[in-house]
Amino acid sequence: MENDQDKIINNVTSGEYKYGFHSDIEIDSIPKGLNEDVIRNISLRKEEPEWLLEYRLEAFRHWQTMTIPQWANLKIPDIDFQDIIYYAAPKKKQGGSQHANSIDPELKKTFEKLGIPLEEQNHLAGVAVDAVMDSVSVKTTFKEILAEEGIIFSSFSDAVKEYPDLVRRYLGTVVPHTDNFFAALNSAVFSDGSFCYIPKGVRCPMELSTYFRINAANTGQFERTLLIADEESYVSYLEGCTAPMRDENQLHAAIVEIIVENNAEVKYSTVQNWYPGDKEGKGGIFNFVTKRGLCRGENSKISWTQVETGSSITWKYPSCILKGDNSTGEFYSVAVTNNYQQADTGTKMIHIGRNTKSTIVSKGISAGHAQNSYRGLVRVLKKASGSRNFSQCDSLLLGDKCGAHTFPYIEVDNQTSIVEHEATTSKIGEDQIFYCNQRGISTEDAIGLIVNGYAREILNKLPMEFAVEAQKLLQISLEGSVG
């Protein structure tokens, strides 16, 4: 019985990575290595203004003084930062394809294979997509419809050209280039990403989304997302990502900055499915991401939802700075690690304004030889009277070789605040499985059922289109692990 169960767990957790194909697209890239000339080169290719180049160089100079952070509960192999291509773009076809609306058919095929519609009449009609391949944005859909509402949704490079003042005003205000090692690196070499501005009083009529795809070999992806929600506005933003299966590791270091003004709300959802490496832990993406939102206005709200199933190493802490009075921060996360994946993820909630509220719900699922850590900080400053935090971190262990860890930090400087934290770690109970078996549900299905029920609270927070996919993803990630 015990063995049977092990076998089933193995079956459930050893599922194949569906998006591991590689598309044959001609690539325009710069040589490996990182120095000031490379940065100048990137900036030149993107036809950037002088101030942005200065910003990059300043970040680069700062980055050179920093060392890779060691505090996370991760085993990070040495990364040779000179052995990475910092800019790779699908080559534009000669002739007619210069026109913005025509895309290389090979590219289109790639995104179709990934289920991402680049054509606006597609079934996912309610979602506007910015598709990013390696270092550049390939296509942004529904731009015109959004523009009617005054919403700016474009690739970062276009935004720099079209709205330099807006970009300049907000870039680096939430995540300064001095923030951490990977943020500094990103600030120096970031290639593309999405820019979004929701004007006063506008409720964005559709979901905005960015889809990131790494395709070229030996490259790193360094995108940057900047999202600004002006007073009384609302936007729901999605982010998805995949990469081909390769034996060598690839680096992904992104920055997401969100600024939310009075009474505005941003809902940011991520389904992270970078290539996690094979069963022996070979290959996979190193995912080092700095995500931070600033609730600048009163009654503003940021809600992070993440489903983390991919990457061989995940180092990611989407945070909220609750500066405006009565602002709210939320963090809902499911992190699944299998085989030799490692994840150290969590959040920071910094309560600065009065009556600020935050909720943290984190669910970790660990299988195979994986290590899954929750690391979070809740800090209540002296002036944040009447603040409230609730945190819950649960870990589920599938298999006896994996680990689950919890590292919460709680710092309270205020008498009228209430902070609660609870965490549990356990495996799926024999009795739960027995109960299902008794009712004619096979052990495999029972485990799927229990895992799904366990993660449901988070999946429910995702927009509908994503929730279905995430649920499937969860099952695939754990395929072959249950037992």
Q: Which is nearer to other proteins, 55 or 317 (CB)?
A: 317
405 lines the binding site for other proteins (CB under 8 A): yes
443 lines the binding site for other proteins (CB under 8 A): no
Rounded least distance, CB 343 to other proteins, Å: 14
- Residue 402, both tokens: 């994996």
- Of the candidates 82, 102, 173, 424, which one interacts with other proteins according to CB under 8 A? 424
415 lines the binding site for other proteins (CB under 8 A): yes
Binding marks (x or -) toward other proteins, 271..300, rule CB under 8 A? ------------------------------
- Beta strands 284-295 and 249-260: pairing type? parallel
71 lines the binding site for other proteins (CB under 8 A): yes
- Of the candidates 97, 122, 425, 432, which one interacts with other proteins according to CB under 8 A? 425
402 lines the binding site for other proteins (CB under 8 A): yes
- Of the candidates 422, 453, 460, 468, which one interacts with other proteins according to CB under 8 A? 422
**96 DSSP 8-state letter:** G
7 lines the binding site for other proteins (CB under 8 A): no
- Of the candidates 404, 446, 458, 473, which one interacts with other proteins according to CB under 8 A? 404
114 lines the binding site for other proteins (CB under 8 A): no
Rounded least distance, CB 425 to other proteins, Å: 4
- Residue 63, both tokens: 């980055």
What span, in angstroms and rounded, lies between the C-alpha atoms of 82 and 56? 17
- Beta strands 127-133 and 207-213: pairing type? parallel
- Of the candidates 91, 92, 109, 409, which one interacts with other proteins according to CB under 8 A? 409
- Beta strands 265-272 and 234-242: pairing type? parallel
Stretch that binds other proteins, among 184-192, 196-204, 275-283, 407-415 (CB under 8 A): 407-415
What span, in angstroms and rounded, lies between the C-alpha atoms of 43 and 54? 10
- Of the candidates 333, 417, 443, 481, which one interacts with other proteins according to CB under 8 A? 417
Find out whether 483 and 6 touch, Cβ atoms under 8 Å.
Answer: yes
Give the residue among 347, 288, 287 at the shortest CA–CA distance from 321.
347
398 lines the binding site for other proteins (CB under 8 A): yes
| Amino acid identity, position 351 | H
Stretch that binds other proteins, among 106-114, 422-430, 455-463, 469-477 (CB under 8 A): 422-430
What span, in angstroms and rounded, lies between the C-alpha atoms of 415 and 413? 7
Find out whether 341 and 366 touch, Cβ atoms under 8 Å.
Answer: no
Spatial neighbors of 312 by CB under 8 A, at least 6 apart, are 249, 275, 276, 277, 281, 283, 284, 285, 286, 340, 341, 342
Rounded least distance, CB 428 to other proteins, Å: 9
What span, in angstroms and rounded, lies between the C-alpha atoms of 133 and 155? 12
Helical packing angle, 443-459 and 464-478, nearest 10°: 140
Q: Which is nearer to other proteins, 242 or 395 (CB)?
A: 395
Backbone phi, psi, residue 368, to 5°: 60, -130
Backbone phi, psi, residue 25, to 5°: -125, 135
Rounded least distance, CB 295 to other proteins, Å: 22
Give the residue among 365, 305, 363 at the shortest CA–CA distance from 329.
305
Instruction: Give the 3-state secondary structure of residue 154.
Output: strand
What span, in angstroms and rounded, lies between the C-alpha atoms of 152 and 98? 22
Binding marks (x or -) toward other proteins, 38..67, rule CB under 8 A? ------------------------------
418 lines the binding site for other proteins (CB under 8 A): yes
4 lines the binding site for other proteins (CB under 8 A): no
431 lines the binding site for other proteins (CB under 8 A): no
Rounded least distance, CB 372 to other proteins, Å: 10
Size of the site for other proteins (CB under 8 A): 36
Give the residue among 78, 288, 61, 48 at the shortest CA–CA distance from 183.
288
Binding marks (x or -) toward other proteins, 378..397, rule CB under 8 A? ----x--x---------x-x
Q: Which is nearer to other proteins, 211 or 317 (CB)?
A: 317
- Of the candidates 426, 434, 435, 472, which one interacts with other proteins according to CB under 8 A? 426
161 lines the binding site for other proteins (CB under 8 A): no
Rounded least distance, CB 322 to other proteins, Å: 17
162 lines the binding site for other proteins (CB under 8 A): no
Find out whether 22 and 212 touch, Cβ atoms under 8 Å.
Answer: no
Q: Which is nearer to other proteins, 72 or 238 (CB)?
A: 72
β-partners of residue 333 are: 306, 362
End-to-end CA distance of the chain: 10
Stretch that binds other proteins, among 150-158, 195-203, 226-234, 415-423 (CB under 8 A): 415-423
| Amino acid identity, position 98 | Q
What span, in angstroms and rounded, lies between the C-alpha atoms of 475 and 448? 7
Rounded least distance, CB 389 to other proteins, Å: 9
Burial class, 16, CB count within 10 angstroms (exposed 0-12 / middle 13-18 / buried 19+): exposed
Q: Which residues bind other proteins (CB under 8 A)?
A: 71, 73, 382, 385, 395, 397-427
